[in-house]
Amino acid sequence: MERTKKNIMILCYSFAMICAVTFSARFIKYIDILALRITLQVLLNILNGIIAFVAMKQTKMTVEIDLRNKKQYIIGVGIAIALSIVIAVIPALCGVSLVGGHTDFSWFTIIYDLFFYMLIIGPVEEFIFRVYLQDVFVGFFNTRKWLGVIIAALLFGLWHIINGNIIQVLFTFGIGLAFGFSKYKIKNCGYVGVSLAHGLYDFLNTIVRMFIVYSF
């Protein structure tokens, strides 16, 4: 019982710290120096991942990362493409954008977003919400462990209100459910699979905004 209380306290403190770091990121846009903005974006995201990693170590959780399982890469790409088609491509072709307004073509944006989403956003956010928080909440339930997936996805959605709005909360809650249940239910879709899916999905949204979404 004492250990459970300690784990809950660590979870609350670590998530509060992650929210504080995320809140501070909203001021980066006021920095005029591009290189400094990019550096801070990367470092603050990495800091959030470190907070989650330290919390896991304090609660004696283990991290399983298998880079040799080729099936997870195929599954991750498949999830990203499926989500992009349903959420981004089809609505955009129908004249409605669910992923933001039109973005002007830029090789810099394409290259930066590719690396930022694939190497930073996907891995860090999935580590926080699907590896740390989801596994903690799933472990809280003896039965109906799927409730842990829903709770983690809900926190994922609520976390986005820090730099977003209520629509984004609902939207990312749904995305969190997709990634969460993929990790929970699909045999060969672990952390690497959902990280790839998340990063690629975000990057594909950039491509859709450039080439399909126009000013409506």
What pLDDT shows up at residue 215? Answer: 55
pLDDT along the chain (216 residues), means of 10: 80 97 95 96 98 95 88 97 97 93 95 98 98 94 93 97 92 97 94 98 97 78
Cα distance between residue 216 and residue 214, in whole Å: 6
pTM: 0.95
- The three-state (H, E, C) secondary structure of 125-159, written as one string: HHHHHHHHHHHHHHHHCCCCCHHHHHHHHHHHHHH
Which ranges of the chain would DSSP assign to H, the alpha helix?
A: 2-24, 34-58, 70-83, 90-93, 107-116, 122-126, 134-140, 146-159, 166-185, 191-211
